Amino acid sequence: MAEIIQNGRMSTGTFAGTVLAQSSATLGGQRHVFYLPQGPRPAPQYPAYGGILVNPFKGHGKIYAGDLIEHTLDGKCKLLKSYEVAATTATAEVKISSGACEQGEIFRHIPFVGDVLMVAPETLDGTGKAVAVTAVVKTFDSKGKQDGWKVTLSDALGSLNKGDVLVEASQAGSAVKAMVTNPNCYVEVDYDCPFVPSTGDEDFDGARYMLTPNMMRGVELAYIDRMQPLPDSIKKADKFKSGYAELIRL
């Protein structure tokens, strides 16, 4: 229905009758990301104002509860897009895991043609080689359930091992930073992104996504294996350490 609403230009013509707009979709499952200890839960806190998502998905995507956000006081939000390598490779073709559970639900960011990816730097503000995605094909397991995507890159990123984490880069290049270098917020619920986004301030035909994320105060705990793939630069940072190997502090 989102495509019909967005692409149906009602003002460009008339139909002297009745139009029945139809669409179908499948709702996914859910999983509990946050660890809830006994006792009162601290009330969440939000920035005084949210921001425009400056790096939306290039197609129909989804932001999941627990995903990390970089919020700045000029009213902008950057989503930490991250992807787990599913198989060892040294070529420009990379298999990315969908994080699908036994029932087949997918809980990972979808890669799109035009995305710019890099191996997650060792530090949050580190640099590395970043290349563009030129093709994306869904992959399926022996039972016919989607288990990931085969992504073709404009150039190889070197030797990649299963479990390595790729992140969105700020731009293509040989020594560039990641899109998100200061994750300071997170989202507490899922956000569906069904509309094709605008390409910039001069594009008035696409969607603009705006949200107000939760501020990180070090009082929320989340299960690492239920979150988006997290690079070591985050898992090993002092402010994210929880004292439990299974949990991260937000």
What confidence tens digit (pLDDT) does each residue in 153-206 have? Answer: 999 999 999 999 999 999 999 999 999 999 999 999 999 998 888 877 788 888
- Between 203 and 87, the more confident residue is 87
**Given this model, what pLDDT does residue 43 score?**
86
* 98 close to 146: Cβ distance less than 8 angstroms: yes
The SS3 call for residue 70 is strand
Q: Which tens digits make up the pLDDT trace of 20-44?
A: 876 666 655 667 899 988 888 888 8
Question: Which DSSP helix (H) or strand (E) runs through 233?
Answer: helix 232-235
Total length of the chain: 250
Q: Which tens digits make up the pLDDT trace of 121-160?
A: 999 999 999 999 999 999 998 888 888 999 999 999 999 9
**Given this model, what pLDDT does residue 56 score?**
95
Supply the mean pLDDT for the chain: 88
**Given this model, what pLDDT does residue 103 score?**
52
pLDDT above 90 covers a percentage of the chain that reads 67
What are the Cα distances from residue 185, in Å, to 43, 70, 213?
A: 15, 6, 6
Q: Maximum distance among all alpha carbons in the chain?
A: 67
**Given this model, what pLDDT does residue 98 score?**
87
The SS3 call for residue 115 is coil
- The DSSP line for 131-199 is EEEEEEEEEE-TTS-EEEEEEEESS--S-B-TT-EEEEBSSSEEEEEBS-S---EE-SS-EEE-SPBPS
Instruction: Quickly count: other Cβ atoms within 10 Å of residue 45's Cβ.
Output: 10
**Given this model, what pLDDT does residue 3 score?**
52
For the record, the structure tokens of 83 come out as 């992807």
pTM, entire model: 0.88
| Predicted confidence (pLDDT) at residue 13 exceeds the cutoff of 80 | no
| Predicted confidence (pLDDT) at residue 111 exceeds the cutoff of 90 | yes
